[in-house]
Structure 1
């Protein structure tokens, strides 16, 4: 059997929206769906997982659905399941998030530690339900965008939609701006012209996926704003994350953090392989 798409459920409205999104995603990719509820105690756990399982079964009756309850830390349980998962899907709130946070603390921890892609389901129904026909992916100056691009191509192809590939540059009158503090999408100090960055990133993938409808875009300005603007008309935003040398987990960076908190659509964080 194919490895499952795993979704964390906690009974919250955001968690149920994540179940709906994950069910549709499992159907698109032809993979089973596994629902996981992690809790410190058993109070209401069976009701939470049963309700989520029934909801997924009604939405995608042809998709195999399994479920389990684990009595342990939610972030650790999800990260562990992610070692053998197609992807992890989480709601944008809940799962142990602190009041006032735009993304729950568990969600942020999972996005920074998982070995597989992590999708945080955000945004209004029009973004969650694929009404824009557009997947957006960010490409940086370095060589760490390859895995995110592969993921984004796959997502666009299963949706039969457009793929918008964004590279942000911060220049004034053609003169590169001074480089800011390092981050995953700190693209202001260029070794190559912006258009060349996109051409180099897309060369191999574009040739392998000629059926894909790809729209490369160089956007002048800070990467955070460029990606937020592009995501305003997207069904999904795809971001890459580097491995931290000498440490467990990923280097999410300030821009990825901001997008996980503020993006208007579901956000996928894809570890660099």
Structure 2
């Protein structure tokens, strides 16, 4: 049996919006949608699951549904199910989060620890309904972007939309550049930016030869570059590497910022 797409539900409007997104994603990938609710009371849990299932059926009537109530901590339950999931989908805030919080504690904890892609459904309903026809992926100079690029190309292929691959870089503070010595050369560990993108896209492009890919090389910090690209995107995809000698992932400051501020859903894809 194919592994399911798992969505965390807690009765909040943000989690129901995540159900809408996850139902459409499950239909796209032709996988089962599994509703997971972590709760103490059985009566409350039944109501939450019923509301989420009704929402999923309205969004994607043909999608197969299953559900589960866990009495574990919500983040632990989701991370556990993520070991055998197509992806985990979460709202940006839950019922217990303070109104001023930009990202809920459970969503952040799961994104930092899961073994599968985690999608945090951010942005307004108006943005998500606009359907811009592009998936944006951030490409780093290193190995952490490989699985993320594969994921992003597949998502763009299934959506029949454009993939926008963004590689942003910046010269060290105070650096002096000339046409003969471009800024990327001042960082000894960096390869030419165009080569970074070419190398990252070579393997997935061979698999999806009909993919429409736009390459963006941007000489500015990655955070504003990716937030700008996400302003006209249906999905923003970023990679993350595993911590050496420690459990969990190394989200980093850029991914933290994107999870808090992106105007569209964000997929965090761990390096495999």
TM-score in terms of structure 2 length: 0.92
2:9–2:16: 8 Å Cα contact kept in structure 1?
yes
DSSP-derived class of the 2:144 partner:
coil
Mark the CA change 1:178 to 1:104 in structure 2 (over 3 Å): closer, same or farther. farther
Paired residues, number: 265
User: How far apart are residue 206 of structure 1 and its match?
Assistant: 1.4
Partner of 1:106: 106
C-alpha distance after superposition, 1:72-92 (max 9, x if no partner) = 210001001101100000001
Partner of 2:90: 90
User: How far apart are residue 44 of structure 1 and its match?
Assistant: 1.5
2:143–2:271: 8 Å Cα contact kept in structure 1?
no
Partner of 1:242: 241
User: How far apart are residue 48 of structure 1 and its match?
Assistant: 0.8
Mark the CA change 1:239 to 1:189 in structure 2 (over 3 Å): closer, same or farther. farther
2:184–2:193: 8 Å Cα contact kept in structure 1?
no
Of the structure 1 ranges 190-199 and 77-86, higher mean CA displacement relative to structure 2 is found in 190-199
C-alpha distance after superposition, 1:129-162 (max 9, x if no partner) = 3610000000011122110000001100110000
User: How far apart are residue 127 of structure 1 and its match?
Assistant: 3.3
Instruction: Tell me the distance in 1 between the aligned counterparts of 2:249 and 2:129.
Output: 29
Instruction: Tell me the distance in 2 between the aligned counterparts of 1:262 and 1:53.
Output: 29
DSSP-derived class of the 1:113 partner:
coil
Instruction: Tell me the distance in 2 between the aligned counterparts of 1:121 and 1:265.
Output: 7
Instruction: Tell me the distance in 2 between the aligned counterparts of 1:76 and 1:216.
Output: 38
CA RMSD, Structure 1 to Structure 2 (Å): 1.8
1:40–1:73: 8 Å Cα contact kept in structure 2?
no
Give the one of 165, 176, 194 matched to 2:183: 176
Instruction: Tell me the distance in 2 between the aligned counterparts of 1:162 and 1:190.
Output: 30
Of the structure 1 ranges 188-197 and 240-249, higher mean CA displacement relative to structure 2 is found in 188-197
1:9–1:95: 8 Å Cα contact kept in structure 2?
no
Of the structure 1 ranges 245-254 and 35-44, higher mean CA displacement relative to structure 2 is found in 35-44
DSSP-derived class of the 1:2 partner:
coil
Partner of 1:221: 220
**How do 1:144-163 and structure 2 match up within 5 A?**
144-163=144-163
User: How far apart are residue 121 of structure 1 and its match?
Assistant: 0.2
Instruction: Tell me the distance in 2 between the aligned counterparts of 1:134 and 1:265.
Output: 11
Instruction: Tell me the distance in 2 between the aligned counterparts of 1:104 and 1:178.
Output: 39
1:257 partnered with 2:256: yes
Instruction: Tell me the distance in 1 between the aligned counterparts of 2:16 and 2:101.
Output: 19
DSSP-derived class of the 2:112 partner:
helix
Partner of 1:52: 52
User: How far apart are residue 49 of structure 1 and its match?
Assistant: 0.7
Gaps of 5+ in 1: 180-187
Partner of 1:11: 11
Mark the CA change 1:189 to 1:5 in structure 2 (over 3 Å): closer, same or farther. farther
2:184–2:191: 8 Å Cα contact kept in structure 1?
no
DSSP-derived class of the 1:165 partner:
strand
